[in-house]
Structure 1
Amino acid sequence: MNILFQGFSATTEEPRRKRPEESKPNHVLLFTIINPMYPITVDVLHTICQSSGQVLRIVIFKKNGVQAMVEFDSVDSAMRAKETLNGADIYSGCCTLKIDFAKGIFRSTYITSTVN
C-alpha cells in the first residue's frame, strides 16, 4: 500500500492588490471634493487653506467631480494643510476634502490661477 501525502490548506489566499503609492510630501496638494453640494471657488479654497501657510496658486477643475490643485509657499505649509484639512467638511455634512500630495506631472504643471 502506497500512501501519498499532499500539501493541502483549507484556506486560500487572495492575490495581493497593489495599493497606490502615496506621493512624497511636496508643496502642491491635490484636493478632491466629495459630495460638492455648494459651489467651490478659488476664494473658498483660499479661505480654508490660508491658516496653514501662504497659498501661491489655486486651480479648480471639474473632470471627474470637483478637484483642485493648491500650491503653497513651502512643503511645511502643505503638510500642515493636509494634516488639518484632510477629511474635513467645507460645509456641514458635505463638500468633504480628500487631500493628497500632487504626483509627478501635476507638480510640474504650471498652475495659472494666482491668489493675491
Structure 2
Amino acid sequence: MSSECVSAQSCIDLLRQIRDVSFATVDESGAPQARIIDIMLAEPGAAIFCTARGKEFYRQLVEDGRVVVTGLTEGFEMIRLQGRAHRLPEDQLGLCEHSGAAAGADATEEARTD
C-alpha cells in the first residue's frame, strides 16, 4: 500500500467518523505512550477530544503537546495525523462536563493515509 499526503481536514473528518482512535504522546523521559481516545468533534483544522485533569495523558499534553493520532477506516485504510494539542478556552469546556478538561489537536504538521 502506498503512503499519501492528504489534507489535514480530510484526515480529521475521517478520524471523527472512526471515533475511537489511538493517541500517542511522550512521557517525561521521551518514551512513547499510547491510548484509545474518542474524537468528540471535528472542527476546521482541529479534532476535539476529552480527558480528565488527573490523568497522565492530560499531564503529557500540557507539558509537551505533541500528539500523533491514528485510526483505521472500515476500508482498512490507516489514517495518521500529527500535530499539537492544546487546552480549549474555558467557555468551550462544556463539551466534556464529566472530565473537566478538553483539548484540541491542531492538525498542522502532517496528515497521511497509509
For the superposition of Structure 1 and Structure 2, which TM-score range results when normalised by the shorter chain? 0.3 to 0.5
Higher strand share: 2
Report the TM-score, using the length of structure 1 for normalisation.
0.40
Larger radius of gyration: 1
Report the TM-score, using the length of structure 2 for normalisation.
0.40
